[in-house]
């Protein structure tokens, strides 16, 4: 879809976002610069891009400023329709503070808060996403279950919560280690099920996490996708396709 994403810092966007990032410029300059490239002109030299590292105070200020612009997911029709379209209930949208906003690039996004004060921006149109701040955990708990599912993406964790389970998501396979201290701390769970995506990166991260959790003497297994009739990519895909088949597999 002519979009790009950096899997290290989580930034992404279109060709204009990329030009702005590389050249450290505003939107108007990016449009002129790209127009110049297509007209055969030589664009201005790139400026030095500032460091992406933020101090805790800078992150707090930026996050607070963004939160002032976030509309609750139930209070905006587009945000509400996005979450309902993913199979989620009004109760879930309200409980986990899912939101909607126009981001810094003028794009319509939904927002998913994480446990460290940062949040995910997910495009309403398209699959691109931004990570605002350090990647954290998305925690969906409160159900009467002593099993915790550890998922890759926020939508997977929320899907399992809708079925009555407790779940967290690490929001990136590179972030899987953050599930370990959480699992050690939450002594109310007697076992853990790793349900990362049904693909090669998900399988690789699952194996690493499985080994690390067992080193901590925690009872854990991997979710068995082979028991499913269909071959889909992740838990939310199964949730929107056949809730009862997913529930049976989880049980």
What pLDDT, in 10s, does the model give residues 127-155? 666 666 788 999 999 999 999 999 999 99
Give the C-alpha distances (Å, rounded to integers) separating 5 from 9, 21, 114, 140: 9, 12, 20, 26
How far, rounded to the nearest angstrom, does the alpha carbon of residue 68 sit from its chain's CA centroid?
Answer: 21
Task: Give the 3-state secondary structure of residue 202.
Answer: helix
Residue that the structure tokens 């082979």 belong to? 226
Which two structure tokens, joined as six digits, stand for 150? 């550890």
pTM above 0.75, yes or no: no
Write the CA distances from 65 to 58, 70, 109, 203, 207, integer angstroms: 11, 9, 16, 37, 39
Average pLDDT over residues 190-215: 95
Total residues belonging to the chain: 251
Confidence band, pLDDT 50/70/90 cuts, at residue 44: low
- Rounded Cα–Cα distance for residues 91 and 178 (Å): 27
Q: Which residue would you say has higher pLDDT here, 107 or 133?
A: 107
pLDDT of residue 123: 87
Structure tokens at 209: 């996490």
- C-alpha 58/C-alpha 61 separation (Å) is 5
Alpha carbons 234 and 231: distance in angstroms, whole number: 9
Residue 192 pLDDT:
97
What is the predicted pLDDT for the residue at 191? Answer: 96
Average pLDDT, the chain: 85
pLDDT classification of 23: cutoffs 50, 70, 90: confident
pLDDT attached to residue 116 = 87
Give residue 228's pLDDT: 92
CA 116 → CA 84, 175, 199, distances in Å? 26, 13, 27
CB 20 within 8 A of CB 26: yes
């Amino acid at each position: 879809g002519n979009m790009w994403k950096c899997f290290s810092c989580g930034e992404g966007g279109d060709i204009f976002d990329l030009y702005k990032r590389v050249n450290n410029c505003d939107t108007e300059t990016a449009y002129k610069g790209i127009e110049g490239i297509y007209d055969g002109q030589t664009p201005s030299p790139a400026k030095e891009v500032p460091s992406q590292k933020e101090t805790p105070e800078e992150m707090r200020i930026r996050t607070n400023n963004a939160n002032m612009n976030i509309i609750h997911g139930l209070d905006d029709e587009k945000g509400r329709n996005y979450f309902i379209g993913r199979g989620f209930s009004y109760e879930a949208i309200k409980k986990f503070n899912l939101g909607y906003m126009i981001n810094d690039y003028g794009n319509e996004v939904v927002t998913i808060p994480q446990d460290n004060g940062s949040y995910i921006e997910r495009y309403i149109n398209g699959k691109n996403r931004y990570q605002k701040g350090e990647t954290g955990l998305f925690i969906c708990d409160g159900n009467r279950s002593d099993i915790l599912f550890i998922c890759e993406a926020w939508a997977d964790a929320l899907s399992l919560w809708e079925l009555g389970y407790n779940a967290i998501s690490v929001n990136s396979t590179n972030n899987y280690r953050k599930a370990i201290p959480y699992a050690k701390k939450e002594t109310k769970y007697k076992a853990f099920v790793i349900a990362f995506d049904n693909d090669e990166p998900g399988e690789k991260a699952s194996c690493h996490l499985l080994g690390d959790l067992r080193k901590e003497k925690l009872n854990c297994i991997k979710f068995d996708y082979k028991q499913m009739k269909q071959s889909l990519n992740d838990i939310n895909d199964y949730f929107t396709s056949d809730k009862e088949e997913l529930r049976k597999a989880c049980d």
